[in-house]
Every structure is written in C-alpha cells, then in structure tokens.
Copies of this chain bind each other. A is one copy, B any other.
Amino acid sequence: MSLVVVGSVAYDGVETPHGRVERMLGGACTYISLAASYFTRTAIVAVVGDDFCPQDEEFLASRGIDLTGLERAPGKTFFWSGVYSEDMNERTTLRTDLNVFANFNPKLPEDYRNYPYLFLGNIQPALQRSVRAQMNGLRLVGGDTMNYWISNARDELLAALREWDCLLINDGEARQLSGHYNLRRAAETILDMGPHTLIVKRGEYGAILFRRDGHFVAPAYLLDKVLDPTGAGDSFAGGFFGYLAGCNIDLREDRADPRELRRAVIYGSVMGSFCCEQFGVERFRTLTRAEIDERFEEFQKFTGF
C-alpha cells in the first residue's frame, strides 16, 4: 500500500562528540520517508529552495520515494544546526533558518489524495489539519509534534489530534501535553484526546506503545557507537508507519492484530538504531532490507525470556 509523508526537507549542520558536518541533507520528512521506503511505496509533500542539490533529490528518488509533491520555491532550503552534549542526551540548537519553509502551505498532488496511509511530520498543527483535510478515505493517519506547538498552538494541536489515529511523541512531550509525569497516566490522558494509539519514544531507552487494551514496551538497540542521533525519532516513525502501510494494517479499534502492531514498533526501533550509526542520512545509502530483518531478529534474541 502507499504512504504520504508531510514535513520538512532541510539542510542540517550537526556536531557530535564524534565529528562535525557543516551541511547535509536532513529534515523530518526526509528521515521518515527514507525509513518508510524500505517497507512501502512512499510519497512526500515538502518544500525546498532553489539551492536544493540535484544529488539529494536523486538520492531520495533512488529509494523509490515519489517526489511529485516536493515543491521548489524561490529562496533557500530550511536550515538547522545544532550541537550535542558529550553523552548525546542533550542538544543545543545553534541556528534555525526557516527560509522557504516559513511559507510552506502543503498542497497535495491529485495522485496522492487517495493514498490510505498518511503520516504528518512535526509542522504547525494548522498545516497538519489542512493536509489531513485534503485526503480522501484514509485508513490510518498518524503524526508527530513538538514542545513548541504544545505550548504555543495547543488548541490547534488538540483539534488536529482529534482527527488522528496515532500520535508519536517523546516522553518529555507526552508529559508536557498531558500534564502528568507518570507515563501511564500521561498515556491515559492523551488517549482521551483522540488517538487510539500512542507511541512514547524514549531515545536510547526505546519506546512504549499504549492503547486502551494495554501497552507494549520495546527496547532500543544497544549500539556500540552512536555517531549522530539526529533523525532517529523520525526514522523510528518511518519504520513504524512504513511497516503498517506495507502490510496494509488497520489500527482502528478491534481491527488491529496486536502482534503486527508490536512488530511495527520493533521495526521503528530498528530503523532508529540504523540512523544513529552514521551522520545524517548516510546509513540509508547502503542499508538493505536484509540487514533490517537481521536486526529485527536480533531484537527477538535479546528480549525473549
């Protein structure tokens, strides 16, 4: 089946204890669609400037990603740069130049509108709603958000959430959105906001899937070297949602196969782990589906009892 991904395509500057890259392909939509492309036909909606490199476009196309919805606008591509702490658990943003992204008003190509799966990367909740409204007959819609929108566009975000099946956020965001520190209580509150499925990402500790009928705790893969964690959360989202779309899985109440849903979470964790092995999107240039499935099996080995 087919998945539409909306979000930022950007250039990033990143410094970690293992090195520094001045400018490389990045952005939520980039990571989500690259990860999803291993599992399902993936089409993106995003905007780039006239500085966007043909090589980067070719790379996305080489992964089979449909770029019909990749708008080119006069000006520069969204640029972000940041530096990670020694333990890589914290990062400081050095620069955020929205550039052409400031006027992003996603319009879906006609072809996209009947796709059954939609993932809304972290952008303004009003834009997420507008994309959602352009789709016909969705089977599943999921999305991400961030602390900024939780604080500054709360009503719009809550309106968006009411229309989603699935929300993927990190633990800090879940606490902020719900007002509860305890994750079980946070999840209960968020499941009352609309989504029937919540994934709380916990970085190096993995992720938890929450639904009304229970939860599933998935670990992260223990890498022996994390080069650059940028994009790991988005790669998780791409693996998770890509797997659901690829297997044509329906998550609505009573229709979900819990086993498939859990497999999707593990594939999310697998894709997040690969992302960290190299800077930016580099790992996706060589990664194969066979390597992905091998790591999935490793997860079974180091978690079973």
Contacts and interface: CB of A to CB of B under 8 A. Distances in A.
Interface of A: 86-87, 181-185, 202, 205-206, 208, 214-219, 222-226, 259, 262-263, 265-266, 300-305
Contacts of A223: 182, 184
B181 A224 contact: no
Classify the interface of chain A: helix, strand, loop or mixed.
Answer: mixed
A267 to B, nearest CB: 10
Given A182-B224, A182-B225, A259 B305 contact: yes
Contacts of A259: 305
Given A218-B305, A263-B305, A303-B305, 14 more contacts: A87-B181, A183-B222, A184-B224, A205-B206, A215-B222, A215-B302, A216-B303, A216-B305, A219-B219, A262-B305, A265-B305, A266-B305, A303-B303, A304-B304
A184 B222 contact: yes
Given A184-B224, A224-B182, A224-B184, A301 B214 contact: yes
A226 B182 contact: yes
A202 B204 CA distance: 11
Contacts of A182: 223-226
A187 to B, nearest CB: 9
